[in-house]
Amino acid sequence: MTTPIRKNFSSDNVGPISPAILEAMIAANQGAVPSYGGDPWTERLTALVRQVFEAPEALVFAVSTGTAANALALSAMVPPYGAVYCDGAAHIQNDECGAPEFFMGGAKLLTLPSRDGKLSPDALSANLEAGRSLGINRVLPTAISITQATEWGTVYTPDHVHAVGDLARRLGLSLHMDGARFANALATLDCSPADATWRAGVDVLSLGATKNGAMAAEAVVFFTPSLAHEFGRRRKRAAHLWSKARYLSAQLIGYLADDLWLANARLANRAATRLADGLGALDGVELLFPVQANELFVVLPDRLIARLQSAGYVFYDWYLPDGVAPRPGASPIRLVTALDITDADVDALLAAAR
């Protein structure tokens, strides 16, 4: 039996569970264990995260969606009269239907525009200073959130994160990283998880797994444990505490064990690079960003888009980033790869495009 050619490039959440993760869930399916996180898998997950991130004090809370991880993390970092700075393209701003504001009790997201989805320390610094002069009529910024890899498929260097982290520390803010595609970024950076996060100043990480092979599992990782005060109750009142918590923990254990997360991410990134190389060689194709993770934002001639669609390919129309002028007869689209997209899948798309 042969696997059919994969034609869905719309997102990294359309595929199945990674076999090793499903096996970890099945292995957890025996006997009666304490509920609500009192089980051995949940205990082991914390130990594993601490080891992987070289962070012996880290606190780990599993939830089933990335939006839950982000919104809960921010709710622990920002009071209801506060604000969090983020990039104008951030998932928390555009794609979570207001979950962060809901969980934070009405606190605000303040966005800064950017070219490539990354917050600039200089722009942040200027804005923070201006905001502070306005006193109690203005919300109080207490956190910064960055996305790694960014919404434009680019990757922050540790130095860049470090600069944001330093600014945060200096001004008394805390730093959140939305790591829905953290593994994809890490595979590109080729540095340690610790260097990419807490050593660069990240206080709280939303560690994604769902887009990279899990069923529905993300972890909120507190490198600054004091921010996790009563976080268990926050998770419960948001209805994100699983009674059978072992099945969340088992997914994340399967994800991190034996570096599966990096192996999966490398597969997805490699497919994206192969796709970018192939498409980039075609006439009239413009890559909007260097491909550093598993997403391509690319301007294609409209007839090429039509050809792919009529061949059954699925992807999203997208929009142009700030400062890029539209080109007649061509349109931006997004293509997302994942661990289950093979060289053959990529080559089939390229063949259809030619």
Site for a second copy in 19-38 (CB under 8 A): 22, 26, 29-36
96, 116, 203, 295: residue in contact with a second copy (rule CB under 8 A): 96
If we measure between CA atoms, which residue out of 242, 243, 197, 245 comes closest to residue 222? 197
8 binds a second copy (CB under 8 A): yes
27, 43, 51, 102: residue in contact with a second copy (rule CB under 8 A): 102
By CB under 8 A, the residues from 55 to 84 that bind a second copy are: 63-68, 71-72, 79-81, 83
Q: Residue 323's CB: how many other CB atoms inside 10 A?
A: 8
Compute CA distances 126 → 83, 120, 130, 171, whole Å: 16, 10, 6, 12
Minimum separation from the CB atom of position 3 to a second copy (A): 9
Compute CA distances 66 → 63, 96, 209, whole Å: 8, 9, 9
Minimum separation from the CB atom of position 95 to a second copy (A): 5
Cα within 13 Å of Cα(114), Cβ side: 24
Classified as helix, coil or strand, 186 is: helix
Cα–Cα distance between 3 and 37 in angstroms, integer? 38
Minimum separation from the CB atom of position 53 to a second copy (A): 23
Q: Residue 24, Cα to own-chain centre: how many angstroms?
A: 23
Structure tokens, 187: 């595979």
By CB under 8 A, the residues from 194 to 233 that bind a second copy are: 210-211, 215-216, 230, 232-233
Q: Which residue number, 65 or 120, has a Cβ lying nearer to a second copy?
A: 65
Q: Which residue number, 269 or 337, has a Cβ lying nearer to a second copy?
A: 337
Inter-residue contact 119 to 87 (CB < 8 Å): yes
40, 51, 57, 98: residue in contact with a second copy (rule CB under 8 A): 98
Q: Which range, of 9-17, 152-160, 192-200, 262-270, touches a second copy by CB under 8 A? A: 9-17
By CB under 8 A, the residues from 252 to 311 that bind a second copy are: none
- Provide the strand spans (E) within the chain: 59-63, 82-87, 108-112, 140-147, 174-179, 204-208, 218-222, 286-287, 295-301, 316-317, 330-336
Q: Which residue number, 1 or 283, has a Cβ lying nearer to a second copy?
A: 1
Minimum separation from the CB atom of position 15 to a second copy (A): 5
Q: Which residue number, 174 or 210, has a Cβ lying nearer to a second copy?
A: 210
Inter-residue contact 213 to 17 (CB < 8 Å): yes
Q: Residue 320's CB: how many other CB atoms inside 10 A?
A: 14
Minimum separation from the CB atom of position 304 to a second copy (A): 21
4, 56, 328, 329: residue in contact with a second copy (rule CB under 8 A): 4
27, 47, 130, 306: residue in contact with a second copy (rule CB under 8 A): 130
340, 346, 349, 353: residue in contact with a second copy (rule CB under 8 A): 340
In the numeric block, the tokens 């393209």 are attached to 89
